[in-house]
Amino acid sequence: MEQYNGTRKFLIATHGTFSAGVKSSLELIIGETAQLFILQAYNNENTSIEYEIKIIMEQVGEQDELIVFSDIMGGSVTNQLVQHALRPNVHIVSGFNLPLLIEIILGDTNTPVDELIETAISNAKEQMVYVNKLLSTPSNNDFND
């Protein structure tokens, strides 16, 4: 296994101010996070997504890894970021949730990034639960105990 020598960086890229809200929630739970960027697409009509991405990418060195969390697969934000996924150190995860971000950001930097992402996605899917159905299932009546 190849030893990782760079810095793992993170980008939350969403339509509007969603990324700022996610960052706020994330830092409330795990504290301030180093190397975390946000992209608030279409929030400032004077700044293009392409320009905002360019500024962020200039801060990611060849030895660094960038894990991008985008809001909607096939959405304009993700589509703009896809061109950067050809770089070997850029990884895009679309349709994220807070448990996924927490697991990846707090993940062991010695774990290969693709393995970390795959495991976190699997675990994050388990966090999406229709709670009403869970509560109405007889075997789960002890949920509040």
pLDDT digits (tens, 9 = 90+) for 68-99: 999 999 999 999 999 998 888 999 999 999 99
Please check whether residue 51 lies inside any domain of the structure. Answer: yes
Amino acid at 82: V
Tell me how many domains the chain contains.
1
Q: Are the CB atoms for 80 and 49 separated by under 8 Å?
A: yes
CATH number of the domain to which 48 belongs: 3.40.50.510
- Per the structure, the complete domain to which residue 133 belongs is given by 8-144
Q: Is residue 1 predicted with pLDDT exceeding 50?
A: no
Q: How far apart are CA 30 and CA 74, in angstroms?
A: 29
* Structural domain includes residue 97: yes
Alpha-carbon dihedral sign for residues 41, 46, 49, 54: negative
Q: Could you tell me if residue 2 is inside a domain?
A: no
**Distance from C-alpha of 20 to C-alpha of 115, rounded to nearest angstrom:** 27
Mean pLDDT across the chain, nearest whole number?
91
Cα 30 to Cα 5, 27, 73, 141: the distances in Å are 24, 5, 26, 31
* pTM given for the model: 0.88
| 59 within a domain of the structure (yes/no) | yes
Whether residue 109 is contained in a domain is answered as yes
Q: Is residue 3 part of a domain?
A: no
Averaged pLDDT, 44-71: 93
Beta strands in the chain (DSSP E): 8-15, 36-41, 65-70, 90-94
| Least confident segment among 122-126, 128-132, 139-143 | 139-143
2 has a pLDDT exceeding 90:
no
